[in-house]
Amino acid sequence: MPPGPVAFRPVRRLLAPAAVALSLLAAAPAQARAPREWNPDARAARAYALAREGLVAFGVRTERGFRGLLPDTTFHAASVVKAMLLVAYLSEPGVRDRDLTPDDRNELTPMVRWSSNAAASRVRDRIGNEALARLARRAGMTRFAAGLDWGASRITARDQTRFFLRIDRLVPRRHREYAMGLLRRIVPKQRWGFARAIPRGWTLYFKGGWGSGSGAVEHQVALLRRGEQRVAIAAFTLSNPGAEYGRATLEGLARRLTRGLGAAR
């Protein structure tokens, strides 16, 4: 598929039923803002992506707008979808208004922090794909499709940056600190790509997905937060020559997309 041009679009309001519109409003972070006098270097990221082997797509989003390369191309989510499973589980009617049990934590913590596939399967079997679909609607995703196998769910860079820019506000307040703590404390052996490129002073909340070390798939999606400022980035790669190559691509994209953030206020 030939790569398309880098697109810049203001963040658009989605036409939605009143109930969905209200939920989106409630999900918006209070006083969230984009870093002043900073714009992502999407041109450099695009040139870098087009020079890499395999298929590469990315997106970067702030409150001011969105830029990306192949932002609506769908990819198998792999373990990136575990962030959605986390938020969907904590939003379930039987969970959102009560304290978490040890059993809850024994599924969610390994699912996110060290990416347990067995825990993800149990969580998805408990809540079902409809819970993921409900979350996608709340987050304003337009191309998400849950798969029979959770890893085969389809995601796009545009949708995932929309989700991660407000991920904390999509989690019920009662469970927000716990959920964001999991995304902040991914185990060290999985902190490649974005985690090696984020400027000082920013807190990183992220989830990755990969192809069992083959390099077939290497993805990451993240929220960067400093005070009231926030930036969401997503990068998806397909058909890498190897896992390390794909992870280097993720790091290279993040370095270009966040260039100048350390100085932006």
Instruction: Give the model confidence (pLDDT) of 177-194 as tens digits.
Output: 999 999 999 999 999 999
DSSP conformation letters of 65-91: EEEEESTT--EE-GGGHHHHHHHHHHT
The pLDDT of residue 110 is above 80: yes
Residue 224 CA to residue 226 CA, distance in Å, equals 7
Mean pLDDT of 229-234: 97
Query: If you average pLDDT over every residue of the chain, what do you get?
Result: 89
At residue 17 the predicted structure's pLDDT band, cuts being 50, 70 and 90, is very low
The predicted structure's pLDDT at residue 153: 98
Instruction: Give the model confidence (pLDDT) of 130-180 as tens digits.
Output: 999 999 999 999 999 999 999 999 999 999 999 999 999 999 999 999 999
Which of the residue ranges 15-19, 57-61, 169-173, 224-228 would you say has the lowest mean pLDDT? 15-19
| Helix ranges restricted to H, the chain | 18-27, 42-51, 81-90, 93-96, 102-113, 117-127, 129-139, 157-165, 167-170, 176-184, 243-257
The predicted structure's pLDDT at residue 264: 59
The predicted structure's pLDDT at residue 20: 36
- The DSSP element (H or E) to which 231 belongs, if any, is strand 229-238
At residue 253 the predicted structure's pLDDT band, cuts being 50, 70 and 90, is very high
The predicted structure's pLDDT at residue 74: 98
CATH code at 30-257? 3.40.710.10
The pLDDT of residue 14 is above 70: no
CA 47 distance to own-chain centroid? 22
The answer to whether the pTM exceeds 0.75 is: yes
The predicted structure's pLDDT at residue 44: 98
